[in-house]
């Protein structure tokens, strides 16, 4: 497995991380053996970046029950901001964020997080500053080592320009490329760059119809595919999608969400092959997106 330093944090992270929203489903807790196999397979094969969130159902509890005994072997990242569990406070308040992180620590059976990220709050919330003060308080108290922002578009750009955060988690894939405008500046500011949704839910390789919302991932893929085959593209969709993200030198790690151990093994095999796309292929993908981009925002 290839590793990169996550910006100014100097945390050494695997280029393939694992997104853990899917292990938050009820069945992954009741059938804990499946989750145990998934997470331990990830660790045994060199994945050391685990990404979850307080609002991902039972995800944090599953982590605590399956791999907390291996805590020194992985970088643990979570997110906060929404009210979760029995919280009665207001979303995006300092009180909510601090109590959410304390809940996360208990659920994952750890004394600290390596990274806590604000979970897609808007620019106005960032400017107000209360949520940032809460993160800094958590860092001072030793409950997290580093702080980050997770989101897209204008709020992500604000987070980059503020130079407050240690990391940025943002979307990048074949049909969602606006982050190319600001991840370069993030690198200049020595922020770690974490990419979410790198395979775009497999949308390019699925059955596309004309009934999708105009701003949906499927609508974008359908338009981009009207230009014919991508130049010099590999035949395998996962190789194309992950290759597009990991060929970008500004990306430290790409997190792929899965609850399926066999899918995880396939992704590990791909990344271990040091997949890189030709410049002609990358340029073709970017050119298609720019040609049809009509102020596409986020994922719908």
Phi, psi angle pair for 198, to nearest 5°: -65, -25
- Phi first, then psi: give them for residue 227, nearest 5 degrees: -85, 5
What digits encode the pLDDT tens for the residues 199-225? 988 888 766 555 556 568 888 899 999
Beta strands in the chain, from DSSP E residues, in sequence order: 3-5, 12-14, 16-19, 49-51, 75-80, 113-119, 144-150, 167-171, 192-196, 253-257
Distance CA 249, CA 232 (A): 20
Give bridge partners of residue 195 from the DSSP assignment: 170, 254
Residue 134's pLDDT is 96
Helix (H, G, I), strand (E, B) or coil at 171: strand
pLDDT at 257: 93
pTM assigned to the model:
0.94
Q: What is the pLDDT of residues 11-33, one digit of tens each?
A: 999 999 999 999 888 777 788 99
Angle subtended by helix axes 261-272 and 237-246, to nearest 10: 60
Q: Percentage of the chain surpassing pLDDT 90?
A: 81
C-alpha distances (whole Å) from 283 to each of 47, 144, 179, 226, 290 are 29, 39, 16, 16, 10
192-196 and 3-5 beta bridge pairing? unpaired
Three-state DSSP class for residue 43: helix
Q: Which of 3, 56, 112, 217 is catalytic?
A: 56
Check residue 206 and give its pLDDT.
66
Q: How high is the pLDDT of residue 212?
A: 59
- CA 172, CA 250: separation in Å to the nearest integer? 12
Mark whether 56 is an active-site residue.
yes
Instruction: Please give the pLDDT value at position 13.
Output: 98
pLDDT averages per 10-residue partition of the chain, 300 residues: 96 97 83 94 98 92 97 97 82 93 97 96 95 96 98 96 97 96 97 96 70 72 93 93 96 95 96 93 97 76
CA 94 to CA 141: how far, in whole Å? 14
CATH class of 3-207+235-278: alpha beta
257, 18 Cβ separation under 8 angstroms? yes
**What is the chain's length?**
300
Comparing C-alpha atoms, which of 151, 148, 139 is closest to residue 167?
Answer: 148
Give pLDDT, residue 300.
46
């Amino acid at each position: 497995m290839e590793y990169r330093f996550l910006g100014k944090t100097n945390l050494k992270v695997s280029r393939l991380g694992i997104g853990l929203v899917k292990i938050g489903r009820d069945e992954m807790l009741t059938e804990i053996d499946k989750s145990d196999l998934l997470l331990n397979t990830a660790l045994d094969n060199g994945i050391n970046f685990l990404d979850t969130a307080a609002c991902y159902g039972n995800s944090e509890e599953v982590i605590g029950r399956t791999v907390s005994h291996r805590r020194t072997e992985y970088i643990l990242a979570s997110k906060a901001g929404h009210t979760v569990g029995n919280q009665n406070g207001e979303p995006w308040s300092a009180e909510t964020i601090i109590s959410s992180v304390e809940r996360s620590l208990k659920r994952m059976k750890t004394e600290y997080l390596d990274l806590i990220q604000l979970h897609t709050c808007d620019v106005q919330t960032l400017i107000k500053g209360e949520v940032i003060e809460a993160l800094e308080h958590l860092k001072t108290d030793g409950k997290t080592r580093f702080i980050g922002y997770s989101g897209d578009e204008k709020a992500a750009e604000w987070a980059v320009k503020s130079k407050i955060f240690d990391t940025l988690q943002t979307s990048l894939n074949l049909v969602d490329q606006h982050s190319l405008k600001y991840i370069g500046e993030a690198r200049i500011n020595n922020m770690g760059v974490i990419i979410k949704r790198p395979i775009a839910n497999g949308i390019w390789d699925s059955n596309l119809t004309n009934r999708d919302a105009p701003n949906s991932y499927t609508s974008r893929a359908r338009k981009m595919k009207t230009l014919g085959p991508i130049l010099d593209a590999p035949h395998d969709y996962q190789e194309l999608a992950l290759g597009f993200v990991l060929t970008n030198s500004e990306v430290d790690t790409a997190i792929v969400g899965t609850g399926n151990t066999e899918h995880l093994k396939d992704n590990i095999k791909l990344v271990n092959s040091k997949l890189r796309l030709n410049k002609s292929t990358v340029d073709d993908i970017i050119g298609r997106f720019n040609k049809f981009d009509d102020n596409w925002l986020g994922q719908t």
